[in-house]
Amino acid sequence: MAKRIEVSDLNIYYGNFRAVEGVNVSIEPRSITALIGPSGCGKSTFLRSINRMHEVIPGARVEGKVVMDGVDLYGADADPVDVRRQIGMVFQRPNPFPTMSIYDNVAAGMRLNNKRMKKADLDDLVERSLKGANLWNEVKDRLDRPGSGLSGGQQQRLCIARAIAVEPDVLLMDEPCSALDPISTLAIEDLMTQLKERFTIVIVTHNMQQAARVSESTGFFNLNGVGQPGRLIEFNPTEKIFSNPEQKATEDYISGRFG
C-alpha cells in the first residue's frame, strides 16, 4: 500500500517567481520523512506539489518529475484528482467541514466522491479511521455532533481520520502540530509512529525536536536570500542530520546559529 516517491529536478513556480528549484529526493515507503528549514524556504510549497495541491493556487506551476511507483504524477495522462486520492494531506490548521457531523467528516472522502457503501461498511470505516487517529474513545458517544465543537487537538486528529479514511498510499502533513499544545502534539506524534506501518508519511515541521523524535529521514531546505528560490540543501537519515550533518548550513540551522 505505501509507496515510494522519487522526485527529480523539481522546480516550483508562483507565476514567474521560482519558489523552489532543483529538488532531487527519494522518499522511502513505510517511513516518516521530515522537512525542516526556515520560514519561506519552500518546504510547504514542495509538500503541496507532491499531491498537486500546489496548482490550486492561480498562476502556480511545476517543472520536473514526481514519480510514485513508476507513475509520473505530472505526466500528461495523470489526473490531479486521482493523484490526491492516493496522496492524502493534513493541513496546518485543523479544517473539519463545519456543516458536517463528526461521522460525516470522517465519511466525507466517501460521501463527497459519491461512493456507494452499505451503512454497516461505512460505520465500520468511520470506526476504523477514528480508532486509527486515536480519537474513537473520545467521540464515540457523539458522532452526530458537529466536528467544529471539538478541541483543536481533537479537530486535528479528526482531520487525520478523514484523510486516512480514503485509504491513501501517502500522507502529507503540513505542520500538523503547530497550532496544538504539547499533549495533543504527543498524541499526534504517537499516531504518526503507528501510521507509518501502513502509510508513507511526509511531514513539514518547524519543531526540530519533533523531526528528530519521529522521522527516519530529514530534508533541510534553505534559501540564499529574500527573493531567491529555496533549495533542498541536505537529505539524509535523521540521525546523521542531527549528529553529523554534511553541510555547514544544516549544522548552523539545527544548532540554532541562525533561522
Partner 1 sequence: MSTQTTPTPSDTSVAAPEPRGRKGRLPGWAPAATFLAAAVVCLLFEAFTDFNLALAVVYTVVLGTIAVYLLSRSVEGPRQAVDRLVTCLVGSAFAIAMVPLVALVWTVVGRGVTRLDGEFFGSSLVGIVGEGGGAYHAIMGTLIITLLTTLISVPIGLLTAIYLVEYGRGRLKRSITFFVDVMTGIPSIVAGLFAFALFALFFGPGIRLGIMGAVALSVLMIPVVVRSAEEVLKLVPNELREASYALGVPKWRTIVKVVIPTSIAGLGTGVTLAIARVVGETAPLLITLGITNGTNLNPFDSRMATLPVYAFYQLTQPGVPPQFAIDRAWTAALLLIILVMGLNVVARLISRFFAPKTGR
Residues that bind partner 1 (CB under 8 A): 51, 53, 56, 58, 81-82, 84-86, 88-89, 91, 93, 95-99, 108-109, 111-114, 145-149, 159, 162-163, 166
Q: Which is nearer to partner 1, 125 or 208 (CB)?
A: 125
C-alpha 25/C-alpha 9 separation (Å) is: 9
End-to-end CA distance of the chain: 37
Rounded (10°) angle between helices 182-195 and 152-165: 20
User: Shortest Cβ distance from residue 174 to partner 1 (Å)?
Assistant: 10
User: Shortest Cβ distance from residue 78 to partner 1 (Å)?
Assistant: 13
User: Shortest Cβ distance from residue 146 to partner 1 (Å)?
Assistant: 4
User: Shortest Cβ distance from residue 153 to partner 1 (Å)?
Assistant: 16
Q: Three-state DSSP class for 11?
A: strand
Grid cell 523524535 — which residue? 213
Ramachandran class of 15: left when φ > 0, alpha when ψ lies in -120 to 50, beta otherwise: left
Q: Which residues of 153-166 are buried (b: 16+ CB within 10 A; e: fewer)?
A: bbbbbbbbbbbbbb
Q: Which is nearer to partner 1, 155 or 250 (CB)?
A: 155
User: Shortest Cβ distance from residue 165 to partner 1 (Å)?
Assistant: 9
Give the type of residue at 225.
G
Residue 208, number of CB atoms within 10 A of its CB: 19
C-alpha 36/C-alpha 45 separation (Å) is: 12
Main-chain phi, psi angles of 138, to 5 degrees: -80, -25
User: Shortest Cβ distance from residue 240 to partner 1 (Å)?
Assistant: 32
Nearest to 233, CA basis, from 243, 225, 245, 242: 245
Q: Which is nearer to partner 1, 75 or 149 (CB)?
A: 149
**With contact defined as beta carbons under 8 Å apart, do 246 and 239 qualify?**
no
User: Shortest Cβ distance from residue 244 to partner 1 (Å)?
Assistant: 36
Q: Which is nearer to partner 1, 151 or 243 (CB)?
A: 151
Q: Which is nearer to partner 1, 114 or 209 (CB)?
A: 114
Q: Which is nearer to partner 1, 112 or 224 (CB)?
A: 112
